[in-house]
Amino acid sequence: MSLLPQEIIRHKRDGQTLSAEEIQHFVRGLVDQSWSDAQAAAMAMACFLRGLAQDEKVALTRAMMHSGEVLSWAQSALPGPILDKHSTGGVGDKVSLPLAPILAACGAFVPMISGRGLGHTGGTLDKFDSIPGYQTAPSLDTLRQALRTAGCAIIGQTAELAPADRRLYAIRDVTACVESIPLITASILSKKLAAGLQGLVMDVKTGNGAFAADLGMAQELARSLVEVAEGAGLPTRAWITDMNQVLGRSCGNALEMHEALALLKNEAAEPRLLEVTRTLSAELLCIGGLADDLADGLLQVDRVLANGSALEHFARMIAALGGPHDFVEKPDHYLAAAPVRKVLRAEQSGWISEMATRDIGLLLIEMGGGRRQVTDRIDHRVGLSDLHAIGTRVEAGEALAVIHAADEASAELAAKRLQQLIRLSPSLVSAQAVLLQRLGGER
């Protein structure tokens, strides 16, 4: 069997099942650069078009997991379970920001290995990059210290953890290979398994703003994630959640950080965002043995939000990873604001009936809030705020959203585009459920 990159690519291109040895050769090539960007991109596209069998998915996940260091927390003697959550990505999805400190305040430890924006979706790390000094790529010693200090650390893939995925992730983003269930499965789980977790909850998005646009694809992805993770010995549950509209009231990195802080301060959170955050947090408390059932978990979540301990853990995390010690007290001082704010007003009265959510994510990229290429720099200031949920009644002339832009021309362009992306109906439209289906585990 030839292990030349072009032969392995040809095998997958022609629909053959790759051996574990071929997959390991590909993953090693990602790390040691013996596979060029062109070859890695061709391989990603072949996997996208031809798919991977279950054994191939497991082999790819394990090879990527072992492409770097695999963490063990036994020596750290942490007095609680090692838990994490991951989302398949959406527009305005900021759940990870409050969830990690909520879990920490309840007694869990959360080494959350997150990613940057992928395709039209925002990235958790890009949101934290809006905080001056915050290290999204700390050393493993700093990660361990942050966990001891704050109980949670939201970081990116360090040089030691799953380096093969870091390179493949960036290539997928710019080569239209994002929406691949096998590649998504291997990408997510290789990082999570390398982080030494004892429990995981997956938030699998579905709808017009998700990679899994239809429910069937979301169910397939959720099953793939649960089956591969459980097969690797990691207790995992999945929730399928709605992404037919922006999650929360904002999208854009600094704006989403403000909204997450408001939730942690127990201020009036957008109901859908709060429901997803509470439910996924409670689910993880059950997996980790910190809650008797989901109802008990929800009570614990509400308690740590009400008494301020979740906010305190968030503040500790920011400081432990290099950010300002007074960030939660003075976010306006540290989060840069866009120089231009423009209110988009409804041209007619009605009920918000539909959002072209994916196009809103793409609009954010055009405004500078995301990447067209791997090397692009993000403008963390730009985005949208004060968005209304589907089912909300608005009057003609009332604000539909506030546009935060780098300049007047960008604001005008965004206003023209956004007016077409939020649709109104003359008749009453019911609010959409955000929690759709639970997979894995027993109630």
Catalogue the active-site residues. 84-87, 124, 172, 187, 191-192
Alpha carbons 3 and 429: distance in angstroms, whole number: 57
3-class DSSP state of 104? helix
User: Which residues have a Cβ under 8 Å from the Cβ of 203 and sit 6 or more positions away?
Assistant: 85, 86, 87, 88, 93, 95, 238, 239, 241, 276, 280
Start-end of H helices in 248-356: 253-264, 271-287, 294-306, 309-320, 331-334
3-class DSSP state of 316? helix
436 burial level (CB within 10 Å; 0-12, 13-18, 19+): middle
3-class DSSP state of 130? coil
Q: Which residues pair with 201 in a beta bridge?
A: 85, 237
| Residue 345: how many other CB atoms lie within 10 Å | 15
3-state secondary structure string across 328-362: CCCHHHHCCCCCEEEEEECCCCEEEEEECHHHHHH
Which tokens is 1 given? 């069997």
- By DSSP bridging, strand 83-87 and strand 399-405 are unpaired
DSSP state at residue 162: -
- Across the beta sheet with 422-425, the strand order is 393-394, 350-355, 422-425
Alpha carbons 435 and 431: distance in angstroms, whole number: 12
